[in-house]
């Protein structure tokens, strides 16, 4: 396993945990930098300090969310390196840098442009926000896609990874258990949404309050509603829920 170092961006919060992980992977004479993170001078300085005199061979980005992408171009220009991300990098493309071959895996669901990065010889995956080190990842409507998210989890599980390096929180050494935990959580949430719609039709916000409970703050409630809407879209697509207009509002109910 190559040396993998982490620099945590100073952007802690309810969606980012302690902050975004920037990963520095030793590739022999050079380094691979994954997810430079938010455009923050303090973070840029911290990455440079950790790199020391090591040359940056390539900058990889898992997805374009504002806590992962913005620093990439400035950091890459500073180090005379290329930025590689979707859609330039497609599923199965191999980035050869130093003594490493890094395979890009298209793993949409959390976002439409999400890549994970696979080190086959070490069975290690840099998962971005597909899988976090703690808690669950958002699958937010309209960009998030629950069906695609589940397929991405199943794809990683089929590869039998040994370790996951997530976009937030700590590395996961029991990779298969974590992937199954994420899959089970998402299916459990789907079942909760379907049960609530079956009990009583409702708008997305009404269903969110019933599924998630009354204790969420406004910021987390907004994110929960977007994730619940993504679940509702999948259930509508699957024919298990239908939507009708009631006085200009979408109301979700079970088909007759």
pLDDT at 48: 98
Q: Work out the angle at residue 156's Cα, subtended by the Cα atoms of residues 154 and 159, and round it to the nearest 5 degrees.
A: 110
What residues have CB less than 8 Å from 214, skipping those under 6 apart? none
Contact 33/75 with Cβ under 8 angstroms? yes
Instruction: Say whether the peptide bond before residue 173 is cis (omega within 30 degrees of 0).
Output: no
Which band of pLDDT confidence, cut at 50, 70 and 90, is reported for residue 198? Answer: very high
Domain parsing of the chain, residue ranges: 4-187, 193-253
Q: Per-residue pLDDT for 256 more than 90? A: no
pLDDT at 214: 79
Contact 156/193 with Cβ under 8 angstroms? no
Q: Per-residue pLDDT for 79 more than 90? A: yes
pLDDT in tens, 199-251: 999 999 999 999 998 778 888 898 899 999 999 999 999 999 999 999 899 99
| Summary mean pLDDT of the chain | 96
Contact 22/7 with Cβ under 8 angstroms? yes
Pick the CATH number of 4-187 from 3.60.15.10, 2.60.40.10, 3.20.20.70, 3.90.550.10: 3.60.15.10
pLDDT in tens, 112-145: 999 999 999 999 999 999 999 999 999 989 999 9
The radius of gyration of the chain's CA atoms, rounded to the nearest angstrom, is: 20
The number of helix segments (H) and strand segments (E) in the chain equals 6, 12
Tokens 């998630």 label which residue?
212
Q: Which two tokens stand for residue 220?
A: 């987390």
The class (CATH top level) of 193-253 is mainly alpha
pLDDT in tens, 153-182: 999 999 999 999 999 999 999 999 999 999
Coil, helix or strand for 10? coil
pLDDT in tens, 15-31: 899 999 999 999 999 99
pLDDT at 226: 94
Helix, strand and coil content of the chain, in percent to the nearest 5, comes to 35, 25, 40
Coil, helix or strand for 22? strand
Please, which residues bridge with residue 141 across strands? none
pLDDT at 93: 98
200 backbone dihedrals φ, ψ, rounded to 5°: -165, 130
pTM of the model: 0.95
pLDDT in tens, 86-110: 999 999 999 999 999 999 999 999 9
């Amino acid at each position: 396993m190559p040396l993998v170092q982490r620099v945590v961006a100073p952007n802690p919060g309810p969606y980012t945990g302690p902050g975004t992980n920037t990963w520095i992977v030793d590739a022999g004479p050079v380094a691979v930098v994954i997810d430079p993170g938010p455009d923050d001078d303090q973070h840029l300085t911290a990455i440079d300090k950790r790199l020391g005199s090591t040359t940056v061979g390539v900058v990889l980005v898992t997805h374009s969310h504002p806590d992962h992408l913005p620093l990439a171009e400035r950091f890459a220009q500073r180090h005379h390196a290329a930025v590689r991300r979707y859609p330039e990098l497609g599923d199965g493309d191999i980035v050869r840098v130093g003594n490493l071959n890094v395979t890009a895996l298209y793993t949409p669901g959390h976002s439409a442009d999400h890549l994970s990065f696979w080190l086959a010889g070490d069975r290690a995956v840099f998962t971005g926000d597909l899988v976090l080190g703690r808690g669950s990842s958002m699958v937010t409507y309209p960009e998030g896609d629950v069906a695609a998210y589940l397929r991405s989890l199943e794809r990683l599980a089929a590869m039998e990874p040994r370790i996951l390096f997530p976009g937030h929180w700590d590395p996961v050494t029991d990779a298969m258990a974590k992937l199954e935990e994420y899959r089970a959580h998402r299916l459990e949430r789907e079942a909760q949404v379907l049960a609530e719609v079956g009990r009583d039709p409702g708008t997305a916000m009404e269903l969110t309050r019933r599924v998630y409970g009354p204790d969420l703050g406004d910021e987390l409630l907004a994110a929960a509603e977007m994730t619940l809407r993504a679940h509702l879209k999948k259930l509508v697509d699957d024919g298990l829920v239908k939507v009708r207009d009631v006085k200009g509002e979408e109301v979700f109910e079970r088909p007759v």
